Amino acid sequence: MNSHSKKIRIAIFLLVTIPNLCSVLFAQSSSLITNVEGRTTYPLDGDWQTIVDPYENGYYNYRYQPSDNGYFMNQKPKDKSDLVEYDFDKSELLKVPGDWNTQREKLFLYEGTIWYKKDFEYHLEKGRRLFVYFGAVNYGAIVYLNGTKLGEHEGGFTPFNFEVTSLVKKKDNFLVVKVDNKRSREFVPTVNTDWWNYGGITRSVSLIEVPLNFIKDYCIQLSKASNNEIRGWVQVDGKDLRQNITLRIPEIGLEKTFVANDNGYVNVNCKATLEFWSPEMPKLYEVIIETQSEKISERIGFRKIETIGDNIVLNGKRIFLKGISAHEEAPVRGGRAYSMDDARTMLQWVKELNGNYIRLAHYPHDESIVRLADEMGILIWAEIPVYWTILWNNEQTFLNAKNQLTEMIMRDKNRASVILWSVANETPLSEERLIFLKKLTEYARKLDGTRLLTAALEHHYVNDTTVVIDDPFGEYLDVIGLNEYIGWYDGLPDKADKIHWETMYEKPIIISEFGADALQGYHGDSLTRWSEEYQANLYEHQIGMLKKIPHLQGLSPWILADFRSPRRNLPGIQDQWNRKGLISDKGIKKKAFYILQQFYQQIN
């Protein structure tokens, strides 16, 4: 990934050396707006031919140098004597989107390289441009079209794209992706996590066709400073970029035209009287952006999120976040979730809990869940996989984290549901870690000054019963997230009754995790580990304790559903599942689900 890392470094260098204007920062990113009306998109999902290549033989030659005749050339023997030692067309298939682990038994524990190939035909008319867009590939991707390298990407949960205008042919195109999910100490996340390292092209791939001059990206949001002003920017790409850009919201009769500068960039702002988006009334407006050559539209909600003192305030009103954490694991089917149906099941469970909020742990989830949350009125905490013991001193690691943060923010910047960006989870205190995270938060604020910043922190005891929140990183956050496992890793459930909480921050606190493992259907008394009764008991004691936590403004217990983890090896109980779900891997609700449901009902 060296040349890629270099590219990231150059891109980030450009970003930080440009004046501190959020608008200018945005304009430099390589993001490409997708999932909008008015764009021609051609999905490349479905069956891809794949070659499992644990020794990376298709990439390196026998002297371990990158080969210029690797599998990406998709060679065929030229005659009967020719030696070619692979054949995509005779190889097994894998579905895209999807992880490879749950598609083929032999790949369940596989960590390494798999080559993917997809053939397609495409008639691109003159004067049109074409991009190939990947929702996510875990972890590293090197992408080739018709034997030419398009580029590389690092990080398993965010989108990327490459232009293929000059390479695409009418017939016989072959798109090849080298996907590698080997873990490495300097990666983000690092080698040690509590979730399955699902590999593959885990999200949709599509071709996106646009005119020569096209709307590359935009940000349209309610101004932070005013309740009746829309602020944002539009970036067009192509030639002769100084052109008119019209913003329209037909429902309120808004129409305003702006002129892009020579770089195709323009700040937009206009007065607008809008009905605010909220969980009770998730109002979305059709927003149209039109240039001379393109007209695209999508549904956007407008809302204001801020903290006032120790309150979280949505549209001027205090809100308590009744939530749950979730991994991106497909309900019942298992494996990585990626579809609207997966998202709908998960968010309906949140509604059933009487919740208004979900923490999408521990990495950016598929865009479908964020879009659906906009429709359904569920607030989101979105996070990057800066998890546990990242290499704080490694510059490359920092740039990688920063790049993943950028890609997450750029993808979801127009989503009203997203109110919190989280930059880290349970990271151990140290000077280097503070420097790393401080830089990351400063950068996030420049990218998006309209949302709140948070992180899941840890606490410590000053005596047997007093817990203190004094992580110095709290100073840089708007909202303090806090993970605690009183009653599970830390004593028995009734320990919570005696705990006294102190915090050095006059800021809202969200208990971002607490929980206990329970095997659905396993019963015992309230002190029998792994039983549904133990988990339910723990929830009852936790709920009792919550009232004593100063500045508490929300919670997202761990976790909505059981999820796979190689760390969880107790036979007959865990079998490589983290069992802290309120719902089993088969979709069956455990007792604790109803306790939380009732608690959220009472808060209403």
Instruction: Enumerate binding residues for ligand GCB (CB under 6 A).
Output: 194, 362, 425-426, 483, 513, 558, 578, 580
Euclidean distance between CA atoms 134 and 333, whole angstroms: 23
d(CA 143, CA 157): 16
Nearer to ligand GCB, 260 or 582 (CB): 582
Residue 344 host element (H or E): helix 340-352
Closer to ligand GCB at the Cβ: 288 or 482?
Answer: 482
Q: Please state, in angstroms and as integers, the Cα–Cα distance from residue 329 to each residue in 321, 371, 562, following that order.
A: 23, 17, 9
Output the smallest distance, CB 499 to ligand GCB, in A: 17
Half-sphere exposure of 208 (CA within 13 A, CB side): 23
Q: Which DSSP state fits 88?
A: G
* CB of 558 vs ligand GCB, minimal distance in Å: 5
Provide DSSP, 109-131. Answer: T--SEEEEEEEE---PPTTEEEE
Cα 292 to Cα 257: distance, rounded to the nearest angstrom? 12
User: Angle CA(382)–CA(136)–CA(345) in degrees, nearest 5?
Assistant: 60
Count of beta carbons in the 10 Å neighbourhood of residue 126: 5
Instruction: State the minimum distance, in angstroms, from the CB of residue 483 to ligand GCB.
Output: 5
Closer residue to ligand GCB in complex, CB, 362/590: 362
Query: 562, 575 in Cβ contact below 8 A?
Result: no
Q: Which one, 522 or 558, has the nearer CB to ligand GCB?
A: 558
Q: How far is the CB of 458 from ligand GCB (least distance, A)?
A: 8
> Which pair of structure tokens corresponds to residue 572?
């007959």
Q: In the complex with ligand GCB, which residue's Cβ is closer, 194 or 294?
A: 194
The residue among 211 and 491 lying less far from ligand GCB, judged by its C-beta, is: 491
> Smallest distance, Å, CB 353 to ligand GCB?
19
Compare residues 513 and 540 and give the one whose CB is closer to ligand GCB. Answer: 513
Q: Which residues pair with 306 in a beta bridge?
A: 313
Q: List 245's β-bridge partners, or say none.
A: 258
How many Å apart are CA 347 and CA 358, to the nearest integer?
A: 8
N-term to C-term CA, the chain: 50
Q: Of 162 and 195, which CB lies nearer to ligand GCB in the complex structure?
A: 195
Q: How far is the CB of 364 from ligand GCB (least distance, A)?
A: 15
- Nearest Cα residue to 383 out of 320, 303, 441, 442: 441
At residue 147, the 3 state secondary structure works out as coil
Instruction: State how far the Cα of 331 lies from the Cα of 337, in Å rounded to an integer.
Output: 8
Rounded to the nearest whole angstrom, what is the least distance from the CB of residue 346 to ligand GCB in the complex? 17
Q: How far is the CB of 532 from ligand GCB (least distance, A)?
A: 17
How many CB atoms neighbour CB 464 within 10 A?
9
Closest CB to ligand GCB among 117 and 362?
A: 362
User: CA dist 101 to 95, 105, 110, 247, 555, Å?
Assistant: 11, 7, 7, 45, 32
- Classify residue 23 by burial, with Cβ atoms within 10 Å: 0-12, 13-18, 19+: middle
Query: Pairing between strand 229-237 and 265-271?
Result: antiparallel
Least Å from the CB of residue 429 to ligand GCB: 15
Diameter of the chain by CA atoms? 80
Looking at beta carbons only, is 402 or 568 nearer to ligand GCB?
568
Nearer to ligand GCB, 294 or 426 (CB): 426
Smallest separation, CB 563 to ligand GCB (Å): 8
H or E element in which residue 24 lies: helix 22-28
Q: Closer CB to ligand GCB, residue 57 or residue 389?
A: 389
Are the C-beta atoms of 235 and 264 separated by less than 8 Å?
yes
Q: For the purposes of burial, counting CB atoms within 10 Å of the CB of 539, is it exposed (0-12), middle (13-18) or buried (19 or more)?
A: buried
Nearer to ligand GCB, 362 or 415 (CB): 362
Question: Is 39 or 580 the residue whose CB approaches ligand GCB more closely?
Answer: 580
Whether the bond into 139 is cis, omega within 30 of 0? yes
Residue 85, classified by CB atoms within 10 Å of its CB into exposed (0-12), middle (13-18) or buried (19+), is exposed
Residue of minimal Cβ distance to ligand GCB: 194
CB of 507 to ligand GCB, least distance (A): 20
Residue ranges of E strands in 196-300: 205-211, 214-222, 229-237, 244-249, 254-259, 265-271, 285-290, 295-300
Q: How far is the CB of 589 from ligand GCB (least distance, A)?
A: 19
Q: Taking the complex as a whole, how short is the minimal distance between the CB of residue 495 and ligand GCB, in angstroms?
A: 17
Which residue, 133 or 558, is less far from ligand GCB as judged by CB? 558
The candidate with the shortest Cα–Cα distance to 360, out of 377, 375, 374, 346, is 346
479 contact partners, CB below 8 Å, separation of at least 6: 307, 312, 420, 452, 453, 454, 507, 508, 509, 510, 553
**Minimal distance, residue 582 CB to ligand GCB, in Å:** 13
We find the least distance from the C-beta atom of residue 515 to ligand GCB, in angstroms, to be 7
